[in-house]
Amino acid sequence: MISYLAAVILGVVEGFTEFLPISSTAHMILVSDILKITQSDFVKTFEIVIQSGAILAVVALYWEKFLDWELLKKIAAAFIPTGILGLVFYKLVKNYLLGDIAVILWSLSLGGILLIVFEKFFHERNEMANMKDISYGKAAIIGLFQSIAMIPGVSRAAATIVGGMLLGIRRELIVEFSFLLAVPTMLAATGLDLFKSSFAFSASQFGILSVGFIVSFIMAVISIKFLLNYIRRHSFAAFGYYRIVLVALFILLAVY
């Protein structure tokens, strides 16, 4: 059972980390492990609900973008590789990788190192500074990069952003494209989980779901605005260092 305090904590974690290159999945699993929250039908439903809160934040902030038919087609092109690979590897990820703390810690640390190295040696070309400059082919390649994030701890945002920058897309632009691409990706993931899982909770648990949803929505709005502000003056290297420190702290807590 999730308490109201745990609902707030998990809502904060999911909402704030979902769009940062630090893996919200890893944070949710590690925090749930620290809080001793065991998986159940209600916990699965709760996780889906707070992810929906984060999705709604993107829609609320970028609703005008979703009225652009050309942009929607490019988002669809980017989603297709992720959707196909997600269906193919769903059971493998869900049954063997998702709950494996070792996989998550390795992914977090290696991803952190790669972010640091990337920022040290990568030179931005800034060839594309507008959504219309992103071709359908490049959108599909971004989707392939995003697919790497099926491995828990990699981070969907990190994979998408790095992939886009390697293709010559301006930093701010690929971050915003990553936000938009999160909507169909997360909707598909939560929809598949709903199909595979069952809604099994009482009326008394509705308040906990509502709290988690609202907190996640608010924190996701804050996170999106924070990241857009941050990248105007800083690189992603700090997120790489953060990932490594997080792994070290978690291991220390586990030992002591």
Residue type present at position 240: G
Which range marks the domain in which residue 199 is found? 4-255
pLDDT of residue 124: 80
pLDDT of residue 203: 61
Contact 85, 211 (CB under 8 A): no
| pLDDT tens by residue, 123-174 | 887 778 789 899 999 999 999 999 999 999 999 999 999 999 999 999 999 9
3-state secondary structure of 169: strand
Distances (CA, A) of 235 to 121, 189, 231: 12, 29, 6
Q: What is the 3-state secondary structure (H, E, C) of 71-137?
A: HHHHHHHHHHHHHHHHHHHHHHHHHHHCCCHHHHHHHHHHHHHHHHHHHHHCCCCCCECCHHHCCHH
Please, which residues bridge with residue 128 across strands? 169
Q: What is the DSSP letter of 148?
A: G
Q: How many domains does the chain have?
A: 1
pLDDT of residue 195: 63
Q: What DSSP string describes 19-72?
A: TSTT-HHHHHHHHHHHTTPPP-HHHHHHHHHHHHHHHHHHHHHHTTGGG-HHHH
Euclidean distance between CA atoms 136 and 210, whole angstroms? 38
Please identify every stretch of the chain with a pLDDT value under 50, giving residue numbers as ranges.
none
pLDDT of residue 256: 57
Burial label, 115 (beta-carbon count in 10 A; 0-12, 13-18, 19+): buried
